[in-house]
Amino acid sequence: MTLRASTAAGKRQVRFALVCVAAMAALLPVRTTAKVANTCSPGTTLRLSAPAAIQGGLLLIDLKSTKPLAEVQGEWEGRIVPFWGDSTGDRRHKGLLGVDLEKAPGEYELRVTGQTESGEKISCRAMVRVRKGQYATEKLQVGKQFVEPSPEQIKRADEERQKLRDIFDRVTPERLWDGKFRIPLDGVTTGTNFGKRRILNGVPGSPHGGTDLRAVTGTPVYAAQRGKVVLAEALFFAGNAVVVDHGLGIYTFYGHLSEIGVKVGDAVETGAVLGKVGATGRVTGPHLHWGLTVEKARVNPLLLVELLDNASEETTEKKPSKPGTK
């Protein structure tokens, strides 16, 4: 952005800068299949949904074996890559590799290991390239009172950040979701601002870790998939917020709600009402801030909707049933 542009539109942009709204963050299309250079033990094949991921991206991994598999696990950059099969003894397992929004670009090795039902070890290795995300940057000069929270507010925000980190660090070993993920608002098909970075008075802030979905106050917010509510409270930045644990290290986050309709410990089905859209927290306009964490990586949630949609199309004949939506 030029200096002139930022001065001319200054006032309006300041208002937008402090909220999660504002300009578009490009959402890159998802490629559905790609073979990557990999080495697997005999009888095993590995495919990734794309040979590379951008920062904040997500890859679906498809592991096939000629023999029924008892267990599969993945590791990438010191993180567990969750894998699951549709049924016991399945020859096909899927995995999700989340690339954090701030993961340094480069090539990193994915290792997948497992065991067949008869006890044979299987393994695969593949190099996964991380590319820089082309996300918008916004430079703003604003009054100090907008940038600098009070010491009490800073303390509160820090404690809340730690609380969220502790939640995302816990991995529920069972997969609680089943089937596709949905966008949590009816009639909304896309979001904005994922990955957008703001530089306020010359100081770069952290990138925007979720996508913003437009809606008016009071619009029902639905659970993206089945899971368990692990946070339901007011946060300094995100306002009234709900976090749903879907199992295997996958969490969805819903922020700025006008009302919270669930409590910690509630089991929710896909489409259960979590609350209503609002403008609580550090915002000036109503919208839903929707976030996704996959094994501690902040990922664009719209990619999960798209990837599992494609995945379920490939395997529809194998799906016994899925939970109904409300």
Q: Which stretches of the chain bind Zn ion, using CB under 5 A? A: 20, 212, 289
CA 19 to chain CA centroid, nearest Å: 20
DSSP result, 205-248: -----EEEEE--TT-EEE-SSSEEEEEEEEETTTEEEEEEEEET
Closest CA relative to residue 219, chosen from 276, 270, 261, 260: 276
CB of 173 to Zn ion, least distance (A): 30
Are 207 and 148 in contact by the 8 Å Cβ rule? The answer is no
Nearer to Zn ion, 180 or 289 (CB): 289
CB of 23 to Zn ion, least distance (A): 13
Nearer to Zn ion, 139 or 289 (CB): 289
CB of 191 to Zn ion, least distance (A): 9
Nearer to Zn ion, 22 or 272 (CB): 22
CB of 216 to Zn ion, least distance (A): 16
Q: How many CA atoms lie within 13 A of 269 on its CB side?
A: 5
With H, G, I as helix, E, B as strand and everything else as coil, classify residue 109.
strand
Q: What is the largest CA-CA distance in the chain?
A: 70
Nearer to Zn ion, 21 or 36 (CB): 21
Residue 274 CA to residue 229 CA, distance in Å, equals 9
Nearer to Zn ion, 93 or 256 (CB): 256
CB of 256 to Zn ion, least distance (A): 7
Nearer to Zn ion, 44 or 252 (CB): 252
CB of 208 to Zn ion, least distance (A): 6
> What does DSSP assign to residue 278?
B
Are 280 and 256 in contact by the 8 Å Cβ rule? The answer is yes
Nearer to Zn ion, 180 or 197 (CB): 197
Query: Which residue's CB comes closest to Zn ion?
Result: 20
Residue 115 CA to residue 135 CA, distance in Å, equals 40
Are 221 and 184 in contact by the 8 Å Cβ rule? The answer is yes
CA 108 to chain CA centroid, nearest Å: 20
CB of 184 to Zn ion, least distance (A): 13
